[in-house]
């Protein structure tokens, strides 16, 4: 690239130049956003309503506020400390539904399986789906199975879709953040991504670390019960990590976010893995925590409600929302400096979920 234009320099492969799909297009970061904006949304044009293709859609039917969310899971390896592709699919979709302030009611399960895949592994994965769904109290209500020839898929891919109903009193949305809101985080960050990396890359952390994969719908229910419409924004920071999630939310709400580095709960093993790999824990994928923007008046009650549940026992306040630098996340470091937190640009690790 010959230009020094800082905007162009943040995007290593504009879509006009890249004529093929790159791994980074699936990162959940900037390239994913570009693909969505430049290719998928325009193509769906007449069919896609405003705000379509968020993590979950709000659909009004006969006076009911329903939520629909879908996700494909291609994680490699399919089995990892703390879960597998089956439980991850159930948790991930439950969480996407919950982040719209909704109670998940049922899931669909679509499998694409490679010919020759071991039936024992298929039993293990589907058993894990069944246990995760039962534990969450969200039934699998319908499904589909396709088999493709050897070499046409890598083992098994799972697509789960969740149907939910808005919780009474919930009024959350990515665009609902307001200056003054408190930014809450439900638990430690970076566990899922560093676990997958550790297993994949043989870093040797895998006995000390496990994915945080877990369902968060009960946590959301407790938060809405405590804070009602004062809970403005909910998001699970999966691909792209906390940094990408907060940057997207800041942009959607037209606000800035100020983070306090010292408040961020980064477990020592995550910090160690990030050190070795030269990663920022803020960019690492999570599968069992959420960020929330809540009014100052309700933040205390919401935080207390979160801490009363196991999945929110380590919830903390990590920052606040400001009117300045809209669309930007700025972190005050331990040394008192301020740095801009960017979205993940390309691909940190493919097939993280």
Q: What is the 3-state secondary structure (H, E, C) of 214-260?
A: CCCHHHHHHHHHHHHHHEEEEECCCCCHHHHHHHHHHHHHCCEEEEE
> DSSP 3-state assignment of 112?
strand
> DSSP 3-state assignment of 156?
strand
For residues 14 and 35, give the distance between their C-alpha atoms in angstroms, rounded to a whole number: 9
- Residue closer to a second copy, measured from CB, 318 or 352: 352
Cα(first)–Cα(last) distance of the chain, in Å? 32
- Residue closer to a second copy, measured from CB, 146 or 339: 146
Q: Least distance in Å: CB of 23 to a second copy?
A: 5
Residue 192 near residue 289 (C-beta atoms within 8 A): no
The C-alpha torsion from 251 through 255 and 261 to 263, rounded to 10°, is -110
Q: Least distance in Å: CB of 120 to a second copy?
A: 7
Contacts of 166 (CB under 8 A, 6+ apart): 58, 64, 65, 66, 67, 100, 101, 102, 103
Q: Least distance in Å: CB of 238 to a second copy?
A: 11
Q: Least distance in Å: CB of 180 to a second copy?
A: 30
- Residue closer to a second copy, measured from CB, 179 or 350: 350
Q: Least distance in Å: CB of 39 to a second copy?
A: 6
Q: Least distance in Å: CB of 44 to a second copy?
A: 4
For residues 302 and 308, give the distance between their C-alpha atoms in angstroms, rounded to a whole number: 10
Length of the chain, in residues: 353
For residues 290 and 330, give the distance between their C-alpha atoms in angstroms, rounded to a whole number: 19
- Residue closer to a second copy, measured from CB, 200 or 317: 200
- Residue closer to a second copy, measured from CB, 138 or 243: 138
- Residue closer to a second copy, measured from CB, 103 or 230: 103
Supply φ then ψ for residue 350, to 5 degrees: -70, 155
Q: Least distance in Å: CB of 207 to a second copy?
A: 27
- Residue closer to a second copy, measured from CB, 35 or 257: 35
């Amino acid at each position: 690239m010959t230009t020094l234009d800082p905007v162009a320099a943040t995007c290593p492969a504009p879509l006009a130049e890249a004529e093929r799909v790159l791994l980074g297009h699936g990162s959940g970061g900037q390239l994913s956003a570009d693909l969505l904006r430049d290719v998928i949304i325009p193509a769906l044009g007449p069919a896609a309503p405003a705000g379509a293709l968020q993590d979950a859609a709000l659909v009004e039917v006969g006076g009911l506020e329903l939520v629909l969310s879908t996700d494909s899971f291609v994680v490699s390896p399919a089995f990892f400390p703390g879960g597998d592709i089956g439980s991850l699919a159930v948790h991930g979709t439950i969480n996407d539904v919950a982040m719209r302030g909704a109670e998940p009611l049922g899931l669909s399960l679509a499998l694409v399986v490679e010919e020759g895949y071991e039936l024992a592994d298929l039993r293990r994965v589907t058993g894990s789906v069944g246990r995760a769904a039962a534990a969450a109290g969200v039934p699998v209500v319908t499904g589909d199975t396709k088999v493709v020839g050897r070499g046409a898929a890598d083992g098994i891919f799972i697509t789960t879709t969740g149907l939910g109903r808005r919780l009474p009193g919930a009024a959350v949305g990515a665009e609902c953040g307001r200056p003054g809101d408190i930014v809450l985080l439900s638990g430690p960050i970076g566990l899922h991504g560093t676990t997958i990396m550790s297993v994949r890359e043989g870093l040797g952390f895998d006995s000390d670390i496990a994915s945080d994969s877990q369902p968060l719908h009960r946590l959301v229910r407790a938060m809405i019960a405590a804070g009602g419409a004062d809970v403005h924004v909910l998001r699970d920071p999966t691909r792209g990590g906390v940094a990408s999630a907060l940057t997207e939310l800041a942009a959607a709400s037209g606000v800035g976010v100020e983070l306090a580095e010292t408040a961020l709960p980064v477990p020592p093993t995550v910090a160690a893995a990030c050190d070795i790999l030269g990663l920022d824990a803020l960019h690492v994928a999570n599968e069992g925590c959420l960020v929330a923007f809540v009014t100052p008046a309700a933040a205390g009650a919401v935080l207390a409600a979160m801490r009363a549940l196991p999945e929110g026992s380590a919830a903390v306040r990590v920052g606040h929302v400001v009117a300045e630098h809209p669309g930007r996340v700025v972190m005050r470091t331990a040394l008192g400096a301020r740095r801009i937190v960017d979205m993940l640009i390309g691909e940190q690790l493919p097939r993280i979920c």
